[in-house]
Amino acid sequence: MSFGNAFAPALLPELLGDSEFRREHGVRYAYATGAMANGIASESLVEAGAKAGLLSFFGAAGLPPARVEAAIDRLEKSLGGLPRGFNLIHSPSEPDLEAALTDLYIARDVRLVEASAFMDLTPAIVRYRLHGIARGEDGRVRAPNKVVAKVSRVEVAAKFLAPASERLLREMAAAGLITSGQAELAAEIPMASDLTVEADSGGHTDNRPLVAMFPAMIALRDRLQAQFRFKNPARVGAAGGISTPEAAAAAYMMGAAYVLTGSVNQSCVESGTSDQVRRMLAAAGQADCVMAPAADMFELGVKVQVLKRGTMFAQRGAKLYDIWRTCDSIEAIAPAVRAALEKDVFRSGLDEVWASTREYFLKRDASQVERAEKEPKHKMALVFRSYLGQASRWANAGVADRALDYQVWCGPAMGAFNEWTQGSFLQAPERRAVGLVARNILYGAAVLTRAHFLRCQGLTLDGETTRIEPLQAAELERLLDE
């Protein structure tokens, strides 16, 4: 590209981001697709991502270990040595589940996890990272298990950018969870091989802006690297709001080693949601998202970002949280309020809902039932959480008569993508495929980066020149694969 004396060298999308990220993870592009709970980031999505040269994470959160193991089996067969990872989500209310998933990943030689929702390091994540750690003949410490940690707060980032604390290592060694040899080598590696800085996103989010948060995280990494002098410092990537060429180009320009997308992938054909939800997502604007109570951390007041348009989930969830906060038990709910909940939200008596919730927890985690039978407020929380949890399953399964209750995690990135692709073939959800979407974003980011070089040489470029039209697969192949 040359305009007068200005010159912008060729830039292939595979050169964007950090070359070490691409080399170490064995991917063509410094582009990851994040885990999406309940298998929304499905096996098909991970297969499509891996085959397109992306780093894709399976959405293990909310699934029982046996279901996650079935995904491990399938991906082993379908992908062989191609890279992929699995989500290890912190579960404060179900520590046994976090430990069971960790055991599974260790037993099945899963070498890469996306660690998320952590507020502090737990024995489970430390045990995963240190499994197989050894000093090579060249004197370097190598940890075969890699952790891509997703964070939105500096306090949490600081934990992952440093080794696990001596105290935690000592306690874990004393409890027989790690050997003293592992504890010693742990001091030479950061807990995370990569740190994803997650700005305002779909699902769990602190709604922070990427441009404000990202520089602080890079500075933190550099400060901790100066202190610990790791042989392999953690790389820092960016997520939250990325679904357009402009956003990806801006993230790479800020120094992101890689970008990670979420919302946009849910609207793609490979995701584990329903066609109804894909259509709802494809019609969303940027302002069609809202915060609603989270099922997994309901009592802590944690919220998740969901789709607002076309569903009443957010209002109903907020109402449940309000009632839980102000009443001490189900029996204390005013009769008219209770009747409305039973009619509109639960479509069943709350006593019956408790009976089925109790059954569910007896199989999954009986200690919850024991506690609920002693603490009426906890019982109410479990009943209310059952609605929040099912609301996501109804959406994934496309249960027609529950459409107004769909819980669809989604951030403003969805609207941004819809606005960009409006009028193009990618407007239709049935044409959206994870690899095609990613390669279009990357291709556009490379073009815009070149345009930036030209602007830096004094050239003024009009909107026509810098407008990126989505390209069909064949056209992308011609441009990128020759």
List of residues contacting ligand FMN (CB under 6 A): 34-37, 40, 59, 61, 87, 89, 114, 116, 150, 198, 201-203, 239-243, 260-263, 266, 409-411, 413
Residue 45: both structure tokens together: 């999505």
**Radius of gyration, alpha carbons of the chain:** 23
Least distance from ligand FMN to the Cβ atom of residue 176, Å = 29
Which lies closer to ligand FMN via its Cβ, residue 129 or residue 150?
Answer: 150
3-state SS, residue 4: coil
3-state SS, residue 452: helix
DSSP per-residue letters across 370-439: HHHHH-HHHHHHHHHHHHHHHHHHHHHHT-GGGGGG---B--HHHHHHHHHHTTSGGGSGGG--HHHHHH
- Range 455-476 burial, b when 16+ CB lie within 10 A, else e: eeeeeeeeeeebebebbeeeeb
* Residue of minimal Cβ distance to ligand FMN: 262
- Phi, psi dihedrals of residue 26, rounded to the nearest 5°: 70, 35
Least distance from ligand FMN to the Cβ atom of residue 25, Å = 16
Which lies closer to ligand FMN via its Cβ, residue 298 or residue 409?
Answer: 409
Which lies closer to ligand FMN via its Cβ, residue 132 or residue 285?
Answer: 285
Which lies closer to ligand FMN via its Cβ, residue 182 or residue 201?
Answer: 201
Which lies closer to ligand FMN via its Cβ, residue 88 or residue 143?
Answer: 88
E strand or H helix at 303: strand 303-307
Least distance from ligand FMN to the Cβ atom of residue 252, Å = 16
Least distance from ligand FMN to the Cβ atom of residue 230, Å = 24
Angle between helix 313-326 and helix 376-397 axes, rounded to 10 deg: 170
Least distance from ligand FMN to the Cβ atom of residue 141, Å = 27
Which lies closer to ligand FMN via its Cβ, residue 143 or residue 259?
Answer: 259
Least distance from ligand FMN to the Cβ atom of residue 150, Å = 5
Residue 19: both structure tokens together: 């070359």
- Phi, psi dihedrals of residue 452, rounded to the nearest 5°: -65, -45
Q: Are 346 and 387 in contact (CB under 8 A)?
A: yes
Least distance from ligand FMN to the Cβ atom of residue 477, Å = 25
Say how many C-beta atoms besides its own lie within 10 A of residue 171's C-beta.
14
Least distance from ligand FMN to the Cβ atom of residue 457, Å = 33
Which lies closer to ligand FMN via its Cβ, residue 35 or residue 382?
Answer: 35
Least distance from ligand FMN to the Cβ atom of residue 157, Å = 15
Q: Are 16 and 10 in contact (CB under 8 A)?
A: no
Going from the C-alpha of 110 to that of each of 152, 262, 304, 309, 460, the distances in angstroms are: 25, 22, 28, 38, 50
Least distance from ligand FMN to the Cβ atom of residue 186, Å = 24
Which lies closer to ligand FMN via its Cβ, residue 97 or residue 333?
Answer: 97
Which lies closer to ligand FMN via its Cβ, residue 310 or residue 369?
Answer: 310
DSSP per-residue letters across 309-328: TT--HHHHHHHHHHHHHH-S
Residue 379: both structure tokens together: 């019982």
Centroid of chain to Cα 317: 22
Which lies closer to ligand FMN via its Cβ, residue 188 or residue 405?
Answer: 405
